[in-house]
Amino acid sequence: MPQGLLVHGSNHFIVRGPLPDRNASRRLIRLWEIPQLAQAAAAPPGLPWEIVTKAFREDLEWVVVLENGEPHSAAVDQLLTELAARGLPIHRTTGPWLAPNGVDWPGDRFPELIAANETVTIREMTQSDSHVIETMLGDPDVMLYFGKLFSHPQVREWVDRHIGLYAQDRCAYWLVYDTASGEVAGQAGILRQQIEGKTEFGLGYIFRKEWWNRGLATAASRACLDYAFDVLKLERVVVTIRPENRPSLRVVERLLLPYERTVQYGGFEHQLYVATPDARHYREVR
């Protein structure tokens, strides 16, 4: 696991995990910037960062400096100079409160934990997840019924759009981990959709091939539906599936969701299934 340095003013934290994007960096600083490092809070479960109390400078692979006009201490300046001399790229952005225009960054949310159980852990995405998301959205087998493959820039746009939807709708596609191994298995979530002129909130899921047929899509769907009804207070959630997509139809069958009608969606015929908060049959394990 890579390690890096997160700097804000005279405070600096050695962090184990991938290079965090701007929003994640600012949220980590907000979480950890307290006088006594030993009392620092851990990152929410499922996130790939933790504070490292002891590490060699030679082991650092990335640096993020959040500037807010506060001068660095001499020790921090010396450390940054040493790391720059080693050739480490130093990523600089504004500090954790205000952007240059005096307004908080749109969509600036620390990735929140959505659900966690013995099978799946679900949290919001950040741009730091783009590399693993690209393995899904660029796989022809995974995207067979989606109708397109995503390039690297398109994956980053996908993540940005969903981060914006977290702020707008409090839901979108989230990242799904296999709880036992801690590995990313796929995406699942609740998304606002326009279906034949009507606004609906729909359940969706995309999983990496190596995690097919292990029950994770069903487990993630149950957790997403519970979140939709218990947290978002939605009155109904739909699932739209092309008739030839047998793997997704099997998930709906396991969830015991009733068929409502056939609709045209995204240029294709889809079967539409419905879940409601007063009928929690989807919780039954089959």
**Domains, the chain:** 3-94 (no CATH), 113-283 (3.40.630.30)
- Residue 174 is encoded by which pair of tokens? 């989230």
- The edge-to-edge listing of strands for the beta sheet with 50-51 is 50-51, 11-16, 3-8, 60-67, 90-94
Between 72 and 119, the higher pLDDT residue: 119
Q: Provide, for the chain, the percentages of residues in helix, strand and coil under a 3-state DSSP scheme, each rounded to the nearest 5.
A: 30, 30, 40
Alpha-carbon distance values, 54 to 70, 76, 93, 198 (Å): 26, 16, 26, 55
Measured between alpha carbons, how far is 207 from 226 in angstroms, rounded to an integer? Answer: 20
CB atoms within 10 A of CB 60: 20
List of E strands, the chain: 3-8, 11-16, 50-51, 60-67, 90-94, 113-116, 120-123, 173-178, 184-195, 198-207, 237-241, 259-265, 268-275
pLDDT at 5: 92
Q: How do residues 105-139 score in pLDDT, each as one tens digit?
A: 444 456 788 998 999 999 998 877 888 999 999 99
Q: For residue 100, what pLDDT band results from cuts at 50, 70 and 90?
A: very low
Measured between alpha carbons, how far is 265 from 196 in angstroms, rounded to an integer? Answer: 7
- Residue 131 is encoded by which pair of tokens? 């590399």
Measured between alpha carbons, how far is 38 from 218 in angstroms, rounded to an integer? Answer: 39
Q: How do residues 29-54 score in pLDDT, each as one tens digit?
A: 877 765 444 444 566 667 788 888 77
Q: Which residue has the tokens 């990313």?
A: 184
Measured between alpha carbons, how far is 185 from 219 in angstroms, rounded to an integer? Answer: 12
**Average pLDDT over every residue of 259-283:** 92
pLDDT at 29: 80
Residue 212 is given by DSSP the state: T
Output the pTM of the full model: 0.70
Q: Report the percent of the chain where pLDDT is more than 70.
A: 88
Measured between alpha carbons, how far is 14 from 39 in angstroms, rounded to an integer? Answer: 15
CB atoms within 10 A of CB 45: 12
- Residue 14 is encoded by which pair of tokens? 């050695």
- Residue 22 is encoded by which pair of tokens? 């701007």
Range with the largest mean pLDDT of 13-27, 49-63, 67-81, 270-284:
270-284
